[in-house]
Amino acid sequence: MKRFTTVLILAALAITSSGAGQTLQAEELTLDQCIDIALENNGSREYGLPSARESYHRSKQGVWSAWGDFLPSLSHGYSYRHTRFGDETYDPTTGQFIRIPEPAQTSTSWSNNFTLSQTFFDGGANFYRIAQSYHSRAAQEENVRGAENDLILGVKEGYFNLLKSQKLVEVQEAAVERAEEFLKTIESRYELGSASLSEVLKARVQLGTEQLELLRRENDVEVGRAGLNTILNRSVGTEITVSDISGEEPEVMSYQEAAEQALERSPAVQIARANTRIAKDDIGIARATLFPSFSWSISRSFSPRERNDLLDFDGRFATWGISASLNFSLFNGFHRKTAISNAQVGIKYTSEQLEQAEKAVAFAVKQAHLGVELADETRNLAEQTEVSAQEDFNLAQEKYNLGAATILDLLDAQVSLTRAQNDRVNALFDYLIAVARLENAVGVRR
């Protein structure tokens, strides 16, 4: 019995440990997976994706509304009326009211009618409203695309920063390992009398410094993980790791190609172009009042004498009605002139906005492309610096072992090597972020 109880306890502990291990196991995500999660969750509030998508939904309904104003409308009406006549009437011969000998009379009526009506022509305003609704929808769609592109850029920056923090932890772990090995070597020499106590103390201080820096790097990883989860609109405590893409070389387009594509793909430029078309539609709507409007309607009414005959559509109680009207506004209190003038100013304003948007995008592309070139040169220099620092460290270590260099020379070489390795990691991910910003300026999604 005691053995059986022991087996149960061990099994329970094994299950608990297994469950805890599964709970603590971090989810590994690729960059594309992070982007998909962010788009699905609408990202964090700062990118404005939910409001952009809501505005786009409203604009799609606006297209239906514009077509609805052009199409015929069908209406149905039902009415009931009950009238009771008075018990007295006026006698003009006596000038008095006299009571009617008969009982008070009543009258009851029902009516059931259908009406089909349409404004067939209103100077073309309905056609311009339909075109304007499509242009408005296109502008809102580009607004959504712009918000998505900004969110994607935020995901890339968060992803690369987290991956950079993880790489810097690896660099710092190597630095701690070097400091530990060096301290062991110095302590062994001190025991043999070939090293001083000062050298031992310096080695211990160096190890403590490297360990403290490792703790900072690990904190940076946690902050980066929480930041990426925030961008993904997930709980900041979600355990995730990111897949390494530092070995992948992104494709970078030339400045000329980037500038040309930006004018065709940038959401800001496309929104400005759509707004220009909307302003031109306003001119058409305003000028439509210069033309007459034509509308028509057809109705069929049923006014039976009895309520049971309301659904009797055989024609005994039915009447048809057809009407058409042609209206022309001769004077409307200068509203027409004001509308046309405002629309003309709107075209001028949106044209200027389009020109400014194109210039702003061209500047952003130029700035981003220069940033990529600078980051690429910095990355190449950092790689060469790391190679040089590694050689310097190896040489300083050999000299120290031979007694031709002091411990300060060796510690300086260690610090320089760690700094060079950190600079190489920073330069690599700064380059990847610079490429992502260039893609965002051009309007490329991924």
Q: How, if at all, do strands 240-242 and 106-121 pair?
A: unpaired
pLDDT value of position 300: 78
pLDDT value of position 86: 62
CB-based contacts of 365, cutoff 8 Å, min separation 6? 255, 258, 259, 262, 438, 441, 442
pLDDT value of position 291: 85
pLDDT value of position 178: 92
Helix (H) or strand (E) holding 154: helix 125-192
- Sheet bearing 106-121, strands edge to edge: 73-84, 106-121, 293-302, 318-327
Residue that is written with structure tokens 């008075």 in the block: 86
pLDDT value of position 308: 64
Q: How are the residues of the chain apportioned to helix, strand and coil, as percentages rounded to the nearest 5?
A: 70, 15, 20
Each residue of 134-159: pLDDT tens digit?
Answer: 999 999 999 999 999 999 999 999 99
Answer whether 378's CB lies under 8 Å from 430's CB. yes
pLDDT value of position 306: 63
**CA-wise closest residue to 435 among 361, 411, 427:** 427
Answer whether 107's CB lies under 8 Å from 82's CB. yes
**Cα dihedral sign, 199-200-202-206:** positive
The CA distance from 366 to 259, in Å, is 8
* Number of other residues whose CB lies within 10 A of the CB of residue 235: 10
pLDDT value of position 314: 58
Phi and psi at residue 292, in whole multiples of 5°? -70, 160
The CA distance from 446 to 429, in Å, is 17
pLDDT value of position 403: 83
**CA-wise closest residue to 284 among 79, 132, 147, 105:** 132
The CA distance from 167 to 218, in Å, is 10
The CA distance from 13 to 6, in Å, is 11
Segments of the chain with pLDDT less than 50 = 1-23
The CA distance from 435 to 156, in Å, is 10
Each residue of 58-78: pLDDT tens digit?
Answer: 999 999 998 888 888 888 887
